[in-house]
Structure 1
């Protein structure tokens, strides 16, 4: 997958760690909420950028106390009709003051980019055919 950021296609430096895998020793790990819950004690001491992937049913409210630990929060659009990530992006920016990257992943459509930007997204995972 390519990454659209600042209106340019760019290489994605983040390594996705699926499930509850241990991200120790990985540069730029993008982990799941489940992995964060299991490994947060170890990861709290690591001095490397850390990203987290939230499924559409996982609210960023669960991370409020740890938001400053993440450089990237990836919000999932599992299907076109699921718009919860729009609300989550808005919460992250306006209520919680998150300044890092808010990335749209999953069923990301070009015709929604402008609305996503207005909600607080600043990076988009796009198909390789773009």
Structure 2
């Protein structure tokens, strides 16, 4: 996967291959990120390569159930810049379902979104191929503070404010 930011750094040694089409062939040795339907029908223990899943904006992450504890990576697809449903899925995975593995944003991922994506739990970003990942990385530093509670900072700013000295 090209143009990848992971743990606040641009990486080039990622072996995961995103399988977009259910009919797309992949070998048992490859590390693959499968569409949800393909993943649910697969037998990851029969493969020598690692297996992960990607969720579309209309998927319910709760269908992964007990598989969440064995998944090293979940990718969430952003088919368009204006489609924000992936933010909700990420937050559900982190806060309600307790997912601890890598959470990767894929699809139409741009610099302007990275800070917000990090706040809901993403720690990896597959930036669009026509953009520079090194420049997009700076998007993680666009805002120094968040007013509302987030996955990264659950206590809202109002409750973190220090009382004025009288």
Tell me how large the CA RMSD over aligned residues is. 1.9
1:28-82 superposed Cα distances (whole Å, 9 cap, x missing partner): 111111111222xx22454653211111111211112211221110001111221
| Structure 2: 5+ residue stretches without partners | 133-166
Q: Which has the larger radius of gyration?
A: 2
Alignment-derived partner of residue 85 in structure 1? 86
Counterparts of 1:123 and 1:74, CA distance in 2: 9
TM-score between both structures, scaled by the size of structure 2 = 0.69
Q: What number of residue pairs does the alignment pair up?
A: 128
Q: CA 1:101/1:111 → structure 2, altered by over 3 Å: closer, same or farther?
A: same
Is the contact made by 2:29 and 2:48 (CA closer than 8 Å) also made in structure 1? Answer: no
Higher RCO structure, 1 or 2 (CA under 8 Å, sep 6+): 1
Alignment-derived partner of residue 53 in structure 1? 54
Q: Which has the higher strand share?
A: 1
Pairs within 5 Å for 1:1-130: 1-11=2-12, 12-17=14-19, 18-21=21-24, 23=26, 25-39=28-42, 42-46=43-47, 48-128=49-129, 129-130=131-132
CA drift of 1:103 comes to 0.5
1:4-33 superposed Cα distances (whole Å, 9 cap, x missing partner): 012211122102233155655133111111
TM-score between both structures, scaled by the size of structure 1 = 0.86
| Structure 1: 5+ residue stretches without partners | none
Please state whether the residue corresponding to 2:100 is helix, strand or coil. coil
